[in-house]
Chain A
Amino acid sequence: MNPDASTIAAGAPIEVDLSPIAAGQDIKVFWRGKPIYISHRTKKQIDEARAVNVASLPDPQSDEARVKSGHEQWLVVIGICTHLGCIPIAHEGSYDGFFCPCHGSVYDTSGRIRQGPAPSNLAVPPYQFVSDTKIQIG
């Protein structure tokens, strides 16, 4: 009952062009049936994410570990709440990041869980920069 060959084949890596996304904006793309948020973070948002005392977080992880160095402005996360799988809304909640409407989990500008029942941070999908304005997810 595991995924069949066609489902796996359809889950091959995809490329996303980042150049149309202005600072402060984000887009949602689908990969393997999952929504992936790609946020072009502003300077303020990056600073907010880095000013936090990592040890105080429910799921401690530094912002540096969640983005690619040299591309700090880009946050790429799977937009599925780690609680029960709803899609959090971007730019909402008290941490300027994501807010899940189902059970009230709040994520910060690095996609880290800050409040609510979710046990862990929004997952970072496997991806790499093909060029400065293009990433490959998967």
Chain B
Amino acid sequence: MSGPSDYQPSNPALQWIERRLPIFGLIHSSFVAYPTPRNLNYWWTFGAILSFMLGMQILTGVILAMHYTPNADLAFKSVELIVRDVNYGWLLRNMHAVGASMFFVAVYVHMFRGLYYGSYKEPREVLWILGVIIYLLMMATGFMGYVLPWGQMSFWGATVITNLFSAVPYIGESIVTLLWGGYAVGNPTLNRFFSLHYLLPFVIAGVVVLHVWALHVAGQNNPDGVEPKTEKDTVPFTPHATIKDMFGVTCFMLLYAWFIFYMPNYLGDADNYIPANPGVTPPHIVPEWYYLPFYAILRSIPNKLAGVIAMFGAIIILCFLPWLDAAKTKSSKYRPLAKQFFWIFVVVCILLGYLGAQPPEGIYVVAGRVLTVCYFAYFLIVLPLLSRIEKPRPVPNSISDAVLAKTGSRSTPMVSTAIVLALAGSLFAGSVDSAKASEGSDTPPGNKWSFSGPFGKFDRGALQRGLKVYKEVCASCHGLSYVAFRNLAEPGGPGYSVAQAAAFASEYKVKDGPNDAGDMFERPGRPADYFPSPFPNEQAARAANGGAAPPDLSLITKARSYKRGFPWFIFDAFTQYQEQGPDYVAAVLQGYEEKVPEGVTIPEGSYYNKYFPGHAIKMPKPLSDGQVTFDDGSPTTVAQYAKDVTTFLMWTAEPHMEARKRLGFQVFVFLIVFAGLMYFTKKRVWADSH
């Protein structure tokens, strides 16, 4: 993109086009012949990774939009139907939802890389600011995308975030009405968010083009922060950077696939599997993890307007970074003090993220305030000051000098390591403290589930027994409205034949109609019908059950969870533990106790349950020994019932789990082999350049 190209395609047809539209020359000069510094490390592959993620999000998003219904009454169900009925719909949805998180992982690495190596400095200021604009657009897009499934967290996240704008003096309320298209978050809000969520990625793509253009004019920065001087300092983009980027992208895909196939709900919130309810606020509203540091900043300031300004200021301040940090040396590699402070800043951001997910009380509020000050101090005090007082180490003369010298003296940043350890320690102490004080409910005991782990499968016998327990016990109050009878015969399910599923369906009476006379009538169920709900509507369910409507059980094992706390939530990402929901459901079923412990008062019409939050549950003890008979000789105990019905409900929540894990294994084998090939190809290509 820098100046006219002298590239001439050899094919006459391409030459004909090239004379009229020099597009091949543009591509050639930008992505083939483009000189790239030869000392780039793997942190520089995140640009390619981000382009890949943007493409992935647009591709999966366009297909998802073909199946999604942006209507407040239908959105939640349409997302469930995508996951259950659309071919590979579960894969598309996981790729898109996890993809958003991975996009942010990559963008944060990319931004911290820019921060560390001073990529925002002269002559790359515009490049950097374009990046900040892309980041802001990403945040808006991600937020609006999270609203679309119309779960509880979608709805209340939308309420909280749109209300931020009401802090604007004088015109705040009108802005909020304009965002809502009504008097509260509702159907018009969902519709406009869907429209904008579809639009903004293309705006991002447009700004990315500007970003890449600016990059190719200014040239890439590099780990040593010295501009290329001679041809010896650079290598052509293709094949050197291309192959390295492909290796980087493949490694990143391994991480991406880990979440898509093995922990699709790890990065989400269990509450979002509960349909949006404008009448009930979830006890603890948390945004997606990638907004948490800014949410923590918002909450640590007791004044509403000031909090909102601080939150937006925390992002906008990045635009001024090129002028806040006036140091001549670009790379922190040669700035001993800046390097230390950089790592402290990284830790501050991570801790702010942790605090954003904690309830705003006690020690967390104080810590949030301290860290907010640290965040701003880094930009407003530390960086301007460092550029005046720091004595940087001498930078190499040229990139080739730096490559030859291979400064191997990797001094461990002692101070920052100590700080990291101290902060991690205090984090741990804080979480232990809060775990003790957590509002009355015991942590459910862990169980051994047949479906856990990367090769987990449902135990067919347990599914069949669980279905029996559901049918004979739970079904009198709880619906299973997302499960159709045909699902019982599908692979990865309880293993019934199509005929058995049809026979099972015919035992149910299903309301159909109107017939030619205009009347509704009842007929035997067919495989395509869904499990009929015991109550016609939520009000009837509420009225029949003393004011508490029994929740639909289709998604219950994904919609319930309990707090794992630090450090467990980190270990879980590696051990693939994601059975909080089943553990909780099984524990509640067995958690009834006659004797109410001292200090706990149970209101009239409620029952004591050890694991239910707050201990007072409206559901009477549902299971007792011998209540349901099993043909296969399994023990007829409450423990067995609880385990079987929970297994069954895990299947109803995710009928394609076995397909997901099976495909995951294949994808992993492929990606590992492909990454290996890429690595050796890359080594070969770069053999002469190091």
Q: Which residues of chain A have a CB within 8 Å of any CB of chain B?
A: 1-4, 7, 11, 28, 30, 32-35, 83-87, 101-104, 117-119
Tell me if B206 counts as interface (CB < 8 A to partner A).
no
Bound CA–CA A8/B3 (angstroms): 57
Instruction: Determine whether the beta carbon of B304 is less than 8 Å from that of A35.
Output: no
- Known interface pairs A33-B183, A84-B163; 4 further A-B residue pairs with C-beta atoms within 8 A, sorted by A's residue number: A1-B178, A86-B159, A117-B302, A117-B303
Instruction: Determine whether the beta carbon of A86 is less than 8 Å from that of B183.
Output: no
Instruction: Determine whether the beta carbon of A103 is less than 8 Å from that of B184.
Output: no
- Which of A3, A86, A117 is within 8 Å of B281, CB to CB? A86
**Distance of A120 from chain B, by nearest CB (Å):** 9
- Nearest CB to that of B280 among chain A residues? A87
Contacts of A1 in B (CB 8 A): 178, 181, 192
Tell me if B318 counts as interface (CB < 8 A to partner A).
no
Bound CA–CA A96/B185 (angstroms): 29
Contacts of A11 in B (CB 8 A): 183
Tell me if B164 counts as interface (CB < 8 A to partner A).
yes
Contacts of A32 in B (CB 8 A): 182-184
Instruction: Determine whether the beta carbon of A30 is less than 8 Å from that of B279.
Output: yes
Bound CA–CA A30/B280 (angstroms): 12
**Distance of B122 from chain A, by nearest CB (Å):** 40
Interface size band for B: 20 to 34
Instruction: Determine whether the beta carbon of A33 is less than 8 Å from that of B178.
Output: no
Instruction: Determine whether the beta carbon of A103 is less than 8 Å from that of B279.
Output: no
Instruction: Determine whether the beta carbon of A35 is less than 8 Å from that of B183.
Output: no
- Which of A3, A28, A102, A103 is within 8 Å of B182, CB to CB? A3
- Which of B156, B188, B302 is within 8 Å of A3, CB to CB? B188
Contacts of B166 in A (CB 8 A): 85
Given contacts A1-B181, A7-B182, A87-B279, is CB(A102)–CB(B160) below 8 Å?
Answer: yes
Tell me if B283 counts as interface (CB < 8 A to partner A).
yes
- Which of A7, A85, A104 is within 8 Å of B360, CB to CB? A104
Contacts of B279 in A (CB 8 A): 28, 30, 35, 87
**Distance of A71 from chain B, by nearest CB (Å):** 25
Instruction: Determine whether the beta carbon of B188 is less than 8 Å from that of A7.
Output: yes
**Distance of A48 from chain B, by nearest CB (Å):** 24
**Distance of B235 from chain A, by nearest CB (Å):** 51
Contacts of A33 in B (CB 8 A): 182-186, 278
3 closest A-B pairs by CB: A33-B184, A32-B183, A85-B163
**Distance of B163 from chain A, by nearest CB (Å):** 4
Given contacts A83-B304, A101-B284, A103-B299, is CB(A35)–CB(B159) below 8 Å?
Answer: no
Bound CA–CA A105/B447 (angstroms): 39
**Distance of B616 from chain A, by nearest CB (Å):** 15
A3, A32, A85 pick with most chain B CB within 10 angstroms: A85
Q: Which residues of chain B have a CB within 8 Å of any CB of chain A?
A: 156, 159-160, 162-164, 166, 177-178, 180-186, 188, 192, 278-281, 283-285, 299, 302-305, 307, 360-361
Q: List 25 A-B contacts (CB under 8 A).
A: A2-B177, A2-B178, A2-B181, A3-B181, A4-B188, A30-B278, A30-B279, A33-B183, A34-B183, A35-B278, A84-B159, A84-B304, A85-B159, A86-B160, A86-B285, A87-B280, A87-B281, A101-B281, A101-B284, A103-B299, A104-B360, A104-B361, A117-B304, A117-B307, A119-B304
Bound CA–CA A118/B284 (angstroms): 17
Bound CA–CA A87/B184 (angstroms): 12
Bound CA–CA A4/B284 (angstroms): 33
Contacts of B177 in A (CB 8 A): 2-3
Contacts of A118 in B (CB 8 A): 304
**Distance of B547 from chain A, by nearest CB (Å):** 13
Bound CA–CA A3/B361 (angstroms): 37
Given contacts A7-B181, A30-B279, is CB(A86)–CB(B186) below 8 Å?
Answer: no
**Distance of B549 from chain A, by nearest CB (Å):** 15
Contacts of B160 in A (CB 8 A): 84-86, 102
- Which of A4, A34, A83 is within 8 Å of B184, CB to CB? A34
**Distance of A104 from chain B, by nearest CB (Å):** 6
- Nearest CB to that of B158 among chain A residues? A85
Contacts of A3 in B (CB 8 A): 177, 180-183, 188
- Nearest CB to that of B279 among chain A residues? A35
Instruction: Determine whether the beta carbon of A119 is less than 8 Å from that of B303.
Output: yes
Contacts of A104 in B (CB 8 A): 360-361
Given contacts A35-B279, A87-B279, is CB(A4)–CB(B307) below 8 Å?
Answer: no
A3, A30, A35, A104 pick with most chain B CB within 10 angstroms: A3
Bound CA–CA A21/B163 (angstroms): 32
**Distance of B160 from chain A, by nearest CB (Å):** 4
Bound CA–CA A124/B210 (angstroms): 50
- Nearest CB to that of B189 among chain A residues? A33
Bound CA–CA A117/B180 (angstroms): 23
Bound CA–CA A104/B281 (angstroms): 13
Instruction: Determine whether the beta carbon of B304 is less than 8 Å from that of A101.
Output: no
Contacts of B182 in A (CB 8 A): 3, 7, 32-33
Contacts of B188 in A (CB 8 A): 3-4, 7
Bound CA–CA A104/B160 (angstroms): 14
Contacts of A2 in B (CB 8 A): 177-178, 181
**Distance of A90 from chain B, by nearest CB (Å):** 12
Contacts of A28 in B (CB 8 A): 279
- Nearest CB to that of A86 among chain B residues? B281
Bound CA–CA A28/B323 (angstroms): 53
Bound CA–CA A105/B666 (angstroms): 51
Bound CA–CA A21/B212 (angstroms): 65
Contacts of B285 in A (CB 8 A): 86, 102
**Distance of B588 from chain A, by nearest CB (Å):** 21
**Distance of A37 from chain B, by nearest CB (Å):** 12
Contacts of B302 in A (CB 8 A): 117
- Which of B162, B163, B181, B283 is within 8 Å of A101, CB to CB? B283
Contacts of B305 in A (CB 8 A): 119
Bound CA–CA A32/B177 (angstroms): 12
- Which of A4, A34, A86, A117 is within 8 Å of B181, CB to CB? A4
- Nearest CB to that of B283 among chain A residues? A101
**Distance of A114 from chain B, by nearest CB (Å):** 14
**Distance of A13 from chain B, by nearest CB (Å):** 13
Bound CA–CA A119/B181 (angstroms): 24
Instruction: Determine whether the beta carbon of A103 is less than 8 Å from that of B360.
Output: yes
Bound CA–CA A101/B284 (angstroms): 7
Contacts of B360 in A (CB 8 A): 103-104
Bound CA–CA A90/B28 (angstroms): 67
- Nearest CB to that of B174 among chain A residues? A2
Bound CA–CA A32/B307 (angstroms): 28
Bound CA–CA A55/B163 (angstroms): 28
Contacts of A101 in B (CB 8 A): 281, 283-284
Bound CA–CA A30/B184 (angstroms): 11
Bound CA–CA A107/B279 (angstroms): 19
Contacts of B163 in A (CB 8 A): 83-85
B159, B280, B281 pick with most chain A CB within 10 angstroms: B281
Bound CA–CA A72/B685 (angstroms): 84
Contacts of B164 in A (CB 8 A): 84
Instruction: Determine whether the beta carbon of B304 is less than 8 Å from that of A86.
Output: no
- Nearest CB to that of A35 among chain B residues? B279
Bound CA–CA A86/B159 (angstroms): 7
- Nearest CB to that of A3 among chain B residues? B182
Bound CA–CA A4/B280 (angstroms): 26
Bound CA–CA A1/B279 (angstroms): 25
Contacts of B180 in A (CB 8 A): 3
Bound CA–CA A3/B280 (angstroms): 24
